[in-house]
Amino acid sequence: MAGQAGQDVRGTLPEGLAEAIRDTAQEIAALLREATDTGAPVPGSAWTIGEAAAHLAQANELMADIAAGRVRSHGDGTPQSLAAANERALAAFGEREAGPLAEMIADRAEAYLTAVDGRPAGETVDTPLGTMSPEALGSYLLTHMLGHGYDLARALGRPHMIDRTRAGLCLPFLIAAMPRVAVAATTAGLTARYTIRLWSGARFGVTFTDGAVTVTPQPPTRPDCTIHIEPVTFLLMALGRRNPVAAIASGRILAWGRKAWLAPRFPGLFRAP
């Protein structure tokens, strides 16, 4: 049943990740239980509330199956193929009622936590965005739920569930996924070294060498451009939910370095998965 405490996997996953996955799933489920019309549109999306919730239920099941070692295919890793796979999966899944979908979302997040707790340390899994550790898959699951949970909260006129702690827990997935979602048309010929610093203190590096991108947990020693950004703003921009121009105007992004002018270009170098 959704709502039970579930298995304690704090020793398996990075600190706070299991709790964030469980709490986010429960908060999305609570949002859905308030929905009276799942046919209402989601702002900025072609989906209805019911379709977005159905997608979350399917995605949580997909990631639980992957963590359990079951072979699942879902596109070829490009944003375009993932979008097409999502539409095919939705067309084959008829549930759109809020109550059943709320239970599925919470139960399948719990299924991921149970599955990952049973995996040997050091193993990797094949995901729709490449090979990852089961822990990075957990960061993927959290990131995905937060993005669509944000959409559902907006559609229902309720506060979203993204905070600085949860945004920080999404970094392992974002670091792993960014090379796969770089836009070749905008990165072509680019040679530059970026340091991304979140206000929480987390940092990572993004290096372009004649268009090829490498993302590392440690920043480059001599970055051309350092971007200092509020964590929730960073996550929303990474997921295509926040306009970079508005974020800069609000003072939530600062940049400096020998080539600080590279900062406004950075968001356009990637396409949200």
In tens, the pLDDT along 73-99 reads 887 777 788 889 999 999 999 999 999
Q: What domains are defined for the chain? A: 17-175 (1.20.120), 182-269 (3.30.1050.10)
> By percentage, how much of the chain surpasses pLDDT 70?
96
Cα–Cα distance, 199 to 213 (Å, whole number): 24
- Which among 175, 188, 189 is positioned nearest to 238, based on CA atoms? 175
Q: What are phi and psi of 88, to 5 degrees?
A: -65, -45
The rounded mean pLDDT for the chain is 91
- Residue 114 or 74, more confident: 114
In tens, the pLDDT along 20-76 reads 999 999 999 999 999 999 999 999 999 999 999 999 999 999 999 999 988 888 877
β-pairing, 253-256 vs 225-229, is antiparallel
pLDDT band at 7 (very low <50, low <70, confident <90, very high): very low
What does the pLDDT read at residue 123?
84
Cα–Cα distance, 200 to 94 (Å, whole number): 41
pLDDT band at 10 (very low <50, low <70, confident <90, very high): very low
In tens, the pLDDT along 224-251 reads 999 999 999 999 999 999 988 888 888 9
Cα–Cα distance, 17 to 52 (Å, whole number): 23
Cα–Cα distance, 266 to 271 (Å, whole number): 11
175 has pLDDT over 60: yes
139 has pLDDT over 50: yes
What does the pLDDT read at residue 88?
94
pLDDT band at 122 (very low <50, low <70, confident <90, very high): confident
In tens, the pLDDT along 156-168 reads 999 999 999 999 9
What does the pLDDT read at residue 6?
44
Are 208 and 190 contacting, i.e. CB atoms less than 8 angstroms apart?
A: yes
pLDDT band at 185 (very low <50, low <70, confident <90, very high): very high
What does the pLDDT read at residue 56?
98
- Which among 140, 139, 160 is positioned nearest to 43, based on CA atoms? 160
What does the pLDDT read at residue 1?
39
Q: What are phi and psi of 217, to 5 degrees?
A: -65, -20
- Which among 219, 216, 164, 224 is positioned nearest to 196, based on CA atoms? 219
Cα–Cα distance, 98 to 271 (Å, whole number): 30
Least confident of 101-110, 147-156, 175-184: 175-184
What does the pLDDT read at residue 78?
79
